[in-house]
Amino acid sequence: MPFIVIIPARLASTRLPGKPLADLGGKPMVVRVAEQASLSGAARVIVATDHEDIRAACAAHGVEVCMTRADHPSGTDRIAEVARALDLPLDAVVVNLQGDEPLIDPALLAACAAQISDNVPMATCAHRLHDMADAFNPNVVKVVLDKHGRALYFSRATIPWHRDGFAQSRENLPQGYVPLRHIGLYAYSNAFLQTYPALSASPLEAIEALEQLRVLWHGYAIAVHVTDSAPAAGVDTPEDLARVQAHYRAL
């Protein structure tokens, strides 16, 4: 199924100001993300921004860009505006790729988009955890699935809780127990993307500080593509930026 990648990019960042324009091997980060996305087979790759400097950087490198309002509460709201501005058909599939993922595996974008169907308007990804520290880390979001590979719940807690295994030891993961870590990549049908901003926040979302719980709360299905390995980490901190810059210097 054809899909479009939209990359929300804001210049403001608490931990790393100006992050989308950070230099990675002679090109701004947001351009590197768009170039990576273009390898996924997407029909179009579009940067969504409210800042002229980002628009100019994209234009200078031949990256399609769409200007948006500055007051969007989330990247999802921003890409929904772009989809409306482009007059995309309601059955179009839109992938939401964060603008700080220059090393994302392009195949993961296509796999996520492929999960969308008539009955499943939203999709995301996960990978298997093998480290006990990650399983108990609240900054590592976990997800549990039903038999169809759809999300039952997302949590910062250790789910599913291995009652007998953890009663014996919390030093190592119990044999055969492989929790899933959520990967923050999303795909939507455009029909649902236009519905999403109008959904009221849920109590679970407020408790866990996980926006995707709003979707489950309102009864919509989220398909989860499980990949064998963890994707390359994004850029959130100066240390992350130094790591990715070193990667591009080594190319």
What is the spatial distance between Cα 182 and Cα 200, in angstroms, rounded to a whole number? 23
What is the spatial distance between Cα 123 and Cα 93, in angstroms, rounded to a whole number? 10
Q: From residue 136, give the alpha-carbon distance in Å to each of 127, 169, 242.
A: 16, 13, 27
pLDDT tens digits for 194-225?
999 999 999 999 999 999 999 999 999 999 99
Query: What is the mean predicted confidence (pLDDT) over 143-158?
Result: 98
pLDDT tens digits for 54-89?
999 999 999 999 999 988 888 899 999 999 999 999
Q: Which of 4, 69, 9 is closest to 37 using CA atoms?
A: 4
The full length of the chain comes to 251
pLDDT interval class at 12 (50, 70, 90): confident
For residue 68 the two structure tokens come to: 């948006």
Cβ contacts of 14 within 8 Å, gap of 6 or more: none
pLDDT tens digits for 85-114?
999 999 999 999 999 999 999 999 999 999
- What's the pTM? 0.94
What is the spatial distance between Cα 218 and Cα 222, in angstroms, rounded to a whole number? 11
Residue 116 pLDDT: 98
